[in-house]
Structure 1
Amino acid sequence: MARAQGARAQMALAFETTYGTPPTSGYTKMPFASTTLGAEQPLLNSELLGYGRDPLAPVKDAVTADGDVVVPLDAEALGFWLKAAFGDPDTSGSGPYTHEFRSGSWALPSIAIEVGLPEVPRHAMYAGCVLDQLSWQMGRSGLLTATARLVAQGEAVTTSPTTGTVAELGLTRFGHFNGVIMRNGSALGNVVSAEITYANGLDRIETIRNDGKIEGADPGMAALTGRIEVRFADDTLVTQAINGEPCELMFSYGLLSGEGFTFTAHAVYLPLPRVEIAGPQGIQASFDWQAARGTSPARLCTATLINSVSGY
């Protein structure tokens, strides 16, 4: 008897033309490290009296389908998650191609994701997936991954794949070693670690339906937040926090082969941190920053991906 193992799991993704309707073709195999994407339907205890001490049968409640997907920051597959977060990019070039994703779109694409366990067999199709949040961390070492938080409409389980022929991408990963943080065009030194979180603030449309699913997920007010941990060496960031002035922060990765990923927050505001002396070691300060709409360009953020993919 075959038993499910995560090492055999597969994931395929395609953008939907109609929300909640998975396409019959056009799927791409996606690399991922782990996922909590799934659907659950809780049971409601019976409140009825008059039948003795033993309870009556429970009643099914509404379906909730959501979860996280941990994915590598790589040169090709990352574009699918950026499109889910921001919408269609502006693509230029003739190879390598430059894909520029901009915040502020009122319409976000929905995607269909099938997660397969072929040895069971179990293939779960999650339709109407909309990206709620994309986050990652920067450090000195370790594997570089991002977490995509999704809200789905529902789950459909079959014993065989429904994706047809699945295309495969080349896997070219970025690493922490390839990263740099720029402040107003200059390298920001003494950074120990950084966190970046972009959220679409999705609003679930919970209408009355006979299948218990949601009607959709509309984007609300976007948010871009994070944290930078720095070795305390000068008063540049503290002075900015005191003055209440914004700066531009750019989080960038580049490979010698030409691929690159740059994420720019155009107007970042810093809080005044507490600078503690915990002992004889170096002193560090944490800035829990918030980004707002900039003036030039007049948007919250821009993500630029350079690779060999002609379009998303």
Structure 2
Amino acid sequence: MARAQGARAQMALAYETVYGTPPVSGFRLMPFARATLGSEQPLLESELLGYGRDPLAPIKDAVTADGEVVIPIDVEAFGFWLKAAFGQPTTNGTTPKTHTFQSGNWTLPSMAIETAMPEVPRFAMYSGCVLDQLSWQMQRSGLLTATPRLVAQGETIAATTAAGTPTALGLQRFGHFNGTVKRNGTALGNVVSAEITYSNNLDRIESIRGDGRIDGADPTMAGLTGRIEVRFSDSTLVTQAIDGSPCELEFVYSLGANASFTFTAHAVYLPIPRIEIAGPQGVQASFDWQAAKAASPARMCTAVLVNTLAGY
């Protein structure tokens, strides 16, 4: 009897034309490290009396399909997740191509994602996947990954794949070594770590249906928050926090002229932090920042991915 192993698992992704309807072609093979994407349907315990001490059979509740995927931040495949987070990008240039994603879109694309365990076999197709949140961390060392959080409409299990033969992408990963944090265009020194979280704050449309699934997941007010941990060496950030004025934070990864990723929060507000002296080692300060819509450009954030892919 075959036993499922993560080493043989695969993930394929394609955008849907109609919400909740997987396309018949156009799937791409996605690199991933972990996935909790799944569907569950809990049971409701019977509350009825008068039938003795033993309970009656439980009743099925509504279906919930969601989860997270841990993915590498790479040169090509990461753009598909950025499109899910921000909507269709603007693509310019010949070689390389510059794909610009902007916050503020009212509509987001839905995706069909299939996870495959071929040795069982089990092919789970998740339709109507909409990206709720995208987060990642910057630090000095380790593997650079991001975590998209998804809300799906439902799950369909089959013994054969519905994704055909997915198109494989070239895998070229960014690393923490390639990262830089800039404040108002100038490299910000003494940064120990940084966290970035973009949220679409999806509203699940929980209509009454015979199959127990949702009717959709609509984006509401977007949010962009994070944290920067810095060695306390000057009062630049503290002064900004006291003044209440915004700054522009830019998170950059570069592998050369043809491969880069730049995420810019155009108006970042910093809280006044507590400066603690924890011992004889260096003093650090943490800023839990929040971003808002800037005056120019009139949006909250911009993500720019440079590669040789024709488009998304």
Output the TM-score relative to the length of structure 2.
Answer: 0.99
Matched, 1:311 2:311: yes
SS in 1 for 2:81: helix
Quote the offset at 1:95 in angstroms. Answer: 1.6
DSSP-derived class of the 2:71 partner: strand
Residue 267 of structure 1 pairs with residue 294 of structure 2 = no
Give the equivalent residue in structure 2 for 1:252.
252
The amino acid across from 1:54 in the alignment is D
Describe the superposition over 1:25-66 as per-residue Cα deviations: whole angstroms up to 9, x where unpaired: 000000000000000000000111111000000000000000
Give the deviation of 1:197 after TM superposition.
Answer: 0.1
SS class of match (1:75):
coil
* Structure 1 residue 231 corresponds to structure 2 residue 231: yes
What is the SS of the residue equivalent to 1:25?
coil
**Aligned partner of residue 267 in structure 1, secondary structure:** strand
Q: Give the whole-Å Cα distance in 1 for the aligned partners of 2:235 and 2:129.
A: 44
Do the aligned partners of 1:230 and 1:285 also contact (CA within 8 Å) in 2?
yes
Distance 1:186 1:115 in 2: 42
Distance 1:97 1:311 in 2: 8
Distance 2:44 2:166 in 1: 40
Q: Which residue of 2 aligns with 1:110?
A: 110
Give CA deviations for 1:125-160 in whole Å, capped at 9, x if unaligned.
000000000000000000000000000000000001
Aligned to 2:47: 47
Partner of 1:69: 69
Separation in 2, partners of 1:41, 1:106: 30
Per-residue deviation, 1:164: 1.3
Distance, in Å, in 1 between the alignment partners of 2:115 and 2:264 is 32
- Match of residue 278 from structure 1: 278
State the shift of 1:257 in Å. 6.0
**Aligned pair 1:131/2:131, yes or no?**
yes
* Local SS of the residue matching 1:242: helix
Match of 2:56 in 1: 56
Matching residue of 1:175: 175
Cα-to-partner distance string for 1:194-218 (whole Å, 9 max, x where unaligned): 0000000100000000000000000
- Aligned pair 1:152/2:152, yes or no? yes
The one-letter code of the counterpart of 2:218 is D
Secondary structure of 2:168's aligned partner: coil
Contact map agreement 2:240 2:270 (CA 8 A) in 1? yes
Cα distance in 2 between the residues matched to 1:19 and 1:234: 51
Q: 1:130 & 1:141 partners in 2: Cα distance? A: 31
Aligned equivalents of 1:311 and 1:257: distance in 2?
A: 18
Task: Find the residue that maps to 2:53 and give its secondary structure.
Answer: coil
User: Is residue 2:211 matched to residue 1:211?
Assistant: yes
Question: Could you tell me which residue of structure 1 aligns to residue 86 of structure 2?
Answer: 86
- Residue aligning to 2:201: 201
Shift, 1:165, TM fit:
2.3
| 1:140 is the counterpart of 2:140 | yes
Confirm or deny: 8 A CA contact 2:258 2:308 kept in the other structure.
Answer: no
Task: Tell me the residue number matched to 1:300.
Answer: 300
Distance 1:280 1:216 in 2: 54
Instruction: Please state how far the C-alpha of 1:256 moved relative to its aligned partner.
Output: 3.0
Structure 1 segments of 4 or more deviating over 4 A? none
Structure 2: give runs of 5+ residues left out of the alignment.
none
- Identify unmatched segments of 5+ residues in structure 1: none
Deviation digits for residues 98-126 of structure 1, max 9, x if unmatched?
Answer: 00000000000000000000000000000
CA distance in 1, matches of 2:126, 2:274: 45
Matched letter for residue 166 of structure 1: P
Name the % identity. Answer: 74
Asked whether the equivalents of residues 95 and 310 of structure 1 are also in contact (C-alpha less than 8 Å), the reply is no
Aligned letter for 1:154?
A: G
Q: Distance in 1 between matches of 2:95 and 2:276?
A: 50
Matching residue's letter, 1:135: S
Q: Distance in 1 between matches of 2:6 and 2:51?
A: 46
Aligned length: 312
**What are the Cα deviations for residues 71-122 of structure 1, in whole angstroms up to 9, with x where unaligned?**
0000000000000000000000112100000000000000000000000000
Q: What per-residue deviation string (whole Å, max 9, x for no partner) do you get for residues 285-307 of structure 1?
A: 00000000001100010000000
